[in-house]
Structure formats: structure tokens, C-alpha cells
A and B are shown apart, each in its own frame.
Chain A
């Protein structure tokens, strides 16, 4: 497009700035073949690292054993995932020493879905997940030990964010 007489002349970019700009664009979109090669191995080693976690007493007919709190938390999260219109933000497992006392599920619920129905579903599923994992412990794992704290209500799907 031809410039109008009243338009100021466009300042020409100096060679150094031009080269840096072009090289920056190239570098930004460059996939390092070395990283492509090693990434899967790095991920495998990273997620194999164990988190520190408290042991929780469990009971079978033949005796007692212990389950890691982290395992319980993970199993509860998997059990609650199918519940729609909400997302579990955190799971607090309450212990007296190594004895299970209860769980608090901290959740975000999507507006305008029924909070009470969602909370009841979450509590029931948490109990159904934990009871077989912990067995015949004292106190017994009941739905009353499952508490739900609705931390936030959002207009969008909280599972997506």
C-alpha cells in the first residue's frame, strides 16, 4: 500500500533487532528433540516418588493392617469423580492417632444444581468406598462420618475450571 504524504516514514528496524526478533520466534516454536526423547522417562521417575502420608488402621477378620492416608484420599477422589456438577477440591481425613474418625470433602458446586442432593451423593459414595477399604474398624465407617463443605459455587462446570 502506498504511503500518504502526511504519514510519517516508518522507522526501519535495525538489523540486530530484526535478527533477534526472528530468532526469538524460531526458538519459541522449536521442539527440542532431546526432550522429546527423554520426557516419558522423566515423567515416570517423577510420579513414582512417594508422598509422605499417615498410616490408617484397617481391620480384616484375620487381623489388622494399615492403609496410607494418601491411598484413601486417592480412592475417595476416584469414587466421587462421576458425581456431576461438582468438583472435589480437597479431602481431609480425620484421624485420632491411626484410627479413622471421619472425612471432610471440600467441594465446588455448579449453580443452580441441587447442593443437598449432590452432598448426599458424595457422602454415600465416600462411605461406600471407605468401608470395604478399612473393614470392621472401631468406630465403624458410617455416612455420618462423611462431611461435605461447599467452598464455592460457580456458574461454569467446576470439573473444567
Chain B
């Protein structure tokens, strides 16, 4: 039986956490070769979970795993009014839900280069 976990997102703007609806959330494989799921945020800025295949849970419950005990995925969150939010190597474990709490920033169209991404890379735990 395949092992899997879940990925979900909540998208908002400002520290007041004003929800951003109709943002696209795309989960792609870590090598960007395939799209694993895509959603659009609802009025609360949320999506329904996307199922992601993962290594076995037991791989993360004792030290010395030969391979990373989690699935690595890339997450692209975008909306026409905001800078793109990109997480590289986001982690998903079997039976657990990973969440992207994405605070989006409004685009500054007056800037020399108004279109840019906020790009975050997740490195493994030092375990």
C-alpha cells in the first residue's frame, strides 16, 4: 500500500491575516518534472488538501535513515495582485499534514522590477 501525507495552504496578506481568495496553489515535484496538485483558495484563503506520496513513517522514527524520511515538493502560490510565494523542498511525512501559511505582499508596480518571487528553501532537520 502506498504511503502518503497531505499538503494544504492558508493564504493571506498583512499581519491582520486578511484572507486572499482565488490565489492559485500549485504543488510540483521537487525536480519540477510534474505537477502533483493544483487548487484555488476559497474565501478563507484555504484549499482542500492535496495528497502526496511519501516514504514510510517509520523511516523518521529512529536515526540513521539512508534516504530522507519525507517527500520534498515545491509549492508555488500566486495571485495577480501579489508577489509569488515559492517554497522549495517543502516536507511531507506519511500520515501528517503539511501547511503553507503564506503571507502575500502586494506588488509594487512602480519598482524597476515589480515582478519577483519570494523564494524560500527548506533544508532538512539536523537529525
Our verdict on whether A and B bind, yes or no, reads: no
